[in-house]
Structure 1
């Protein structure tokens, strides 16, 4: 009888571990699937801005065509490119560099919002967040004019 109980406990524990493992790795797989390809970070701030412009253009097309499930690819690429700017902006004065760093927080927040509204198929919300993102990027870019 003790052997049967031990065997049942071991089987139950094994099943529990398998289920726990599948639940634990499922969100990771989903996040990896959503992340898509990693964006290549150019070596200079000028090249980064060119890449951001291309991603903005692509994001605009995605929104206009209504393929909102693709919004996150471009929003996160823009976030990653913008996050790389401070490291490639050594010629900026300290005050402007600090402004770029501060604006990066807004870019990251707006990328998350774009992802959420895109996933929800909320075109109006996506367009609104896209306009806000373009405004923040315009403010960031102003720090590079004449630098």
Structure 2
């Protein structure tokens, strides 16, 4: 099997959004989303949100993503997680139902082994609600940063 080429690394490739990163813990604190970290470390920082049902989303990741999936094409959790880690993804959100009744045990184990935070996304939480929450957290962080810079300039 031939793997796709890695993401671009030239000077024109985007490396980070124009906002500060969002701590995964801030997203998990949003009780209305009902997210639950079930594997991996708790201290990740999120730069983007991306949804994919590809068997290997590596070519389409920039690094820093919270990748959301329902696992439609998940056949080899170890390979899948290793490719996400290699691409620099920050965390994986796995939506349960209608494809899987629960997060596959092999995925939980692979995320723990490879140090990728894994979130369980309940069936009541649309992926768009998670993306909206991340964008709001980013906007709040950007606003705080702009206020800090403004105060520093005024001083």
TM (norm. structure 2) is: 0.25
Greater RCO (Cα-Cα under 8 Å, separation 6 or more): 2
TM-score (ref. length: structure 1): 0.26
| Larger strand proportion of the pair | 2
More helix by share: 1
Which has the greater radius of gyration? Answer: 1
